[in-house]
Structure 1
């Protein structure tokens, strides 16, 4: 009886094909690699060619390298070494590179050096092509930000408060030694007028240390502890104050930075795996989207979204010649300065202010019945009416400057007699007569924003924002694993994020 064997398809590694298949035949017609190839073939690469010298040995074509790099970011291959290996292993990259095999140094140098002055132009061209196809709108955008961890050591930090504390200690120590020197100074060798040590700099420290050594060093009868302090001060303070001034120059308006990437600021990361809100060095990434396509992007060292909008809008204008006609954003952007900026640019702003969501809650409205915004305003007499029905008189106008230098104008009103009022203690907590500060311009802008946000169009746009800009960040960070930059320094980080945004837009187009 014959034994039946399983049937297998032919398998012969030495089989010779009369007509070997081409790489073109191996790429499906709807594969994302074809979208990358098609779009980049349409781009103007003239700005990219300027990064190459006319003389010297031949280089890999920048169009090919750009395709390889962008496709790498489309497929979550961010490492230059992995990309170099894939050019020899992946059919798609072989097809894109036309069987060229650039090494990782070539890819890394192209990304970090050649693309430096051209990537923004490449990104803008991609956005314009997508806009021509009707896939996105440059005029109507949703704006939001996220924090992405920097490629920096989280333990090599510098804090502005620590510098201020150390400088204060230095000032106190110098003051103590100076006062001692004044006590022991002879009539013939009197100390000059004591400097102000509340603020110190390198020139003041050096001059003080030199003078103290001149007056005290080598003299008999000087307290041993003072001698020890003077010796320590002489050895360390001139060097330390120079170091602190250099650190302050790097910090500028920031509160912290990492020594391994001085452009990175310590921020709280939502994606922290320890779930304890740990501070890590990172960048605040701002994007504007339309139909989940990224229209504009900027990188900031400032962790607060409020202070990023001005630069973000300026970049939009630089890229496309004008500000967006419509901008939708959450309460993180709802400041007087931002509302004024959008009003000046004639941009319709569907932007929430801080208390907008709470104001929609009836419980909150009954929780604070004596708040300043609940008091009645008599326009004819220019006074507010307190909860007991008594007028609060206008007592003057003042100004206040925000952290960004924006000047706010505040009108002040004071109640006449709170001492015997039965609501005293419930209405306000201050000891004297209640004073309220009213920012009329901000109130006007909030009322304008409230009208827009609660209109039918505003409600629709607010709903759309939630599944437009936020899922874009989610897709990049969760689905494609981009949670930490690989390059260091704001300039290179901006390059890297530019590649991420181009890849996101081409992935979306392919889908």
Structure 2
């Protein structure tokens, strides 16, 4: 008690965990039977403090419980848990309650006045999975191999059926019929001669095993174009940490964080590489757990899509989404590019575009464009009245025919409204805070906490790791703000000369 300072972060952690509703944690244990060797609440404190200190290995945590004075103080006289107990607690107990515990802490921070549910800043990053870099399975290759295999199975069934007089064409039925004809035991090894029946049965078994393997692969893809054999929930993605500088794909997860007042208030782990498709599930899950909706949400250009704009229409939440072409639109090259729709004159009455050469692009027809998530967008198709003889055609289009445009009028209107919002005084302030708070959270995790790769495998366990780390981050942030007398502060103000 005397050695540990009164304002140490371990004391704040201990008091905060005691104030939390820990019923989700206790629900993972049975009421009857043998008591756990270490109190689950104590183990939770140990795991959180280990993450606060950047210690993730169960063996390192066990060592810290025996040597570090802060861990010993948390144990409160109890015997230090061994690494088996720590690993089981993290991989078997916490997955069932980690998300509820995280949002319990977020609600507690809300009660303390640290979170006001006003300004949410969302960002994503890729974190490498604990999987072999060369254990990839590609959907296109699997589909091609599966098609060839099915043709081969059909051919073998025909051949075997003619040889033995089997009428059925289903491979499984043909194999059963062949196995019923076996009268002598199969032989293996050097110097042994297999019968034709044994060779046919083994051949068909091998083909059916491969067919089952490819069918299992197709189930595992779940809309992705690849996965890792080591961790089937991981998807091969481009990572920012590209030390070889060859754009190597590595198995990883797309991690989404929502930050307010420098605290992480929402967490999501996805196998989907695109930020656009992860945002709506992330917001729905966070709103469901918090029971509240934010006044505004600020996002970077990676989230801009008609689907995400439409998601916020009709709600009380204002979205500040940076345009994908926002930075490029300021350049001279963009403004001089005659091929871009933005540089063509539009007549809203006649609903036609006029290129810089004075030629008209008129409406041909309308259609529906469907995204990977199933969202349907109404698109208008325009075509130039005639590009023949145009001296600037090579600068405008590469097609042999006329210049064509595909335009979603709703998306253009939504983009114009978003541009007005993000360039307003409030929008500039929120975008500045997004780069400080949400990107800063990832910077602290990767650089200060040295968390660049997951330890566990599988979506459920990986999510548990991230919930623990996010809770630890919030505890460290609360402690830092108390020491710096910044509690209750939500936004960084813009500095002016």
Q: RMSD across aligned C-alpha pairs, in angstroms?
A: 2.9
Residue 54 (str. 1) matches residue 31 (str. 2): yes
Partner SS state of residue 468, structure 1: helix
Distance 2:174 2:366 in 1: 44
Distance change (3 Å), C-alpha of 1:208 and 1:167: farther
- Matched ranges for 1:302-451 at <5 A: 302-366=272-336, 368-451=337-420
Distance change (3 Å), C-alpha of 1:382 and 1:156: closer
Aligned-pair CA distance for 1:233: 6.7
Aligned-pair CA distance for 1:442: 0.9
Distance 1:230 1:425 in 2: 61
Aligned-pair CA distance for 1:175: 8.4
User: Contact conserved, 1:414 with 1:436, CA < 8 A, in 2?
Assistant: yes
Q: Which runs of 5+ in 1 are unaligned?
A: 1-23, 193-202, 212-228
> Which stretch shifts more, 384-393 or 283-292?
384-393
Q: Which runs of 5+ in 2 are unaligned?
A: 178-198, 481-497
> Which stretch shifts more, 30-39 or 127-136?
127-136
Q: Give the aligned length.
A: 454
TM, length-normalised to structure 1: 0.82
1:260 alignment partner, one of 219, 230, 233:
230
2:441 alignment partner, one of 466, 472, 493:
472
Report Cα offsets for 1:322-353 as digits up to 9, x if no partner. 33221111111001111111224332111123
TM, length-normalised to structure 2: 0.84
1:454 alignment partner, one of 423, 428, 441:
423
Distance change (3 Å), C-alpha of 1:429 and 1:159: closer
- Matched ranges for 1:120-199 at <5 A: 120-170=99-149
Distance 2:97 2:155 in 1: 58
> Which stretch shifts more, 93-102 or 128-137?
128-137
User: Contact conserved, 2:153 with 2:204, CA < 8 A, in 1?
Assistant: no
Aligned-pair CA distance for 1:397: 0.4
User: Contact conserved, 1:138 with 1:295, CA < 8 A, in 2?
Assistant: no
Distance 1:474 1:380 in 2: 50
Aligned-pair CA distance for 1:429: 2.7
Structure number, greater radius of gyration:
1
Distance 2:173 2:415 in 1: 54
Distance 1:176 1:38 in 2: 71
Distance 1:374 1:204 in 2: 61
Distance 2:175 2:432 in 1: 64
Distance change (3 Å), C-alpha of 1:268 and 1:424: closer
Aligned-pair CA distance for 1:293: 1.4
1:298 alignment partner, one of 240, 258, 268:
268
Partner SS state of residue 96, structure 1: helix
Aligned-pair CA distance for 1:417: 2.6
User: Contact conserved, 2:338 with 2:355, CA < 8 A, in 1?
Assistant: no
Aligned-pair CA distance for 1:391: 3.2
User: Contact conserved, 1:142 with 1:290, CA < 8 A, in 2?
Assistant: yes
Distance change (3 Å), C-alpha of 1:57 and 1:177: closer
